[in-house]
Amino acid sequence: MVGLLFKGLRKIVNISMSYIYNPVGHLIFFLNDVKILRGFSVAGFMKVHVTRRGRVRIGSNFKVNSGNHNLIGRQQSTIFWVEGDLSLGDNVGMSATAIICTHNIIIGNNVTIGGNTVIYDTDFHNLDPLLRRNKFIDKKSSIKLPVVIEDDVFIGAHSTILKGVTIGHSSIIGACSVVTKSVPANEIWGGNPAKFIKSLHVQ
């Protein structure tokens, strides 16, 4: 009996919070000068920081799970840190994802990004230890290269997508992969570093 009451209360709380997350999500994007199109929905609270020179474009039907709203373990808040140019197409879904865009990241249409995935277009730090001693020079001189994720890509949970990578349309990245080089279209890659596994047969 106690268990049933607890489960009922939990459902009521979850439903009630769903009426809070979307308005807060819209407000956070609005305050960061990001226009949201129809179909946007978010479960949980996001962390969004768009600098004065950052630009974000988000397509329709954008779906976000943040924090513990995708119960697969290792939950974190969905994070957007943008001081470059970030573009997301239509029908993009992500869970507990961190996107750090200092240069240029393009995500196409119908892309699914698994829980706890991170996407970086920068090394964050210079490879020269002498330059890393100066924090300003270290950050300014780090290598930055665009990331492109084409239409219909599926990225498995806990993956890392690094600078300079293009993932071709309809390809799949296995869970816990570290993608360090570009992936052709219609292929499955996985591992650390991610390697070719097999081709996908397109109907």
**Average pLDDT along the chain:** 91
Phi, psi dihedral angles at 172 (to 5 degrees): -125, 135
pLDDT of residue 75: 75
The CATH-assigned architecture of domain 2-198 is: 3 Solenoid (2.160)
Number of CB atoms found within 10 A of residue 88's CB: 22
pLDDT of residue 181: 96
DSSP string, 112-134: EE-TT-EEESB-SS-S-TTGGGS
pLDDT of residue 5: 72
Q: What is the pLDDT of residues 102-120, one digit of tens each?
A: 999 999 999 999 999 999 9
pTM: predicted TM-score of the whole model, two decimal places: 0.89
pLDDT of residue 202: 66
Where exactly are the structural domains of the chain? 2-198
Percent residues over pLDDT 90 in the chain: 68
pLDDT of residue 18: 73
Q: What is the pLDDT of residues 70-97, one digit of tens each?
A: 767 677 889 999 999 999 999 999 999 9
The residue type found at 23 is P
pLDDT of residue 19: 75
pLDDT of residue 10: 67
Q: Higher confidence at residue 201 or residue 166?
A: 166
Query: Token digits for 175?
Result: 């869970």
Q: What is the pLDDT of residues 119-176, one digit of tens each?
A: 999 988 988 888 888 888 888 888 899 999 999 999 999 999 999 999 999 999 999 9
**Active-site residue 103, yes or no?**
no
pLDDT of residue 73: 67
Active-site hit among 125, 158, 169, 201: 125
- Helix (H) or strand (E) holding 140, with range, is helix 135-140
Distance CA 58, CA 46 (A): 15
Distance CA 85, CA 54 (A): 6
pLDDT of residue 28: 94
pLDDT of residue 70: 73
Q: Which residues, other chains included, contact 81 with Cβ-Cβ below 8 Å and sequence gap of 6+?
A: 49, 98, 99, 100, 101
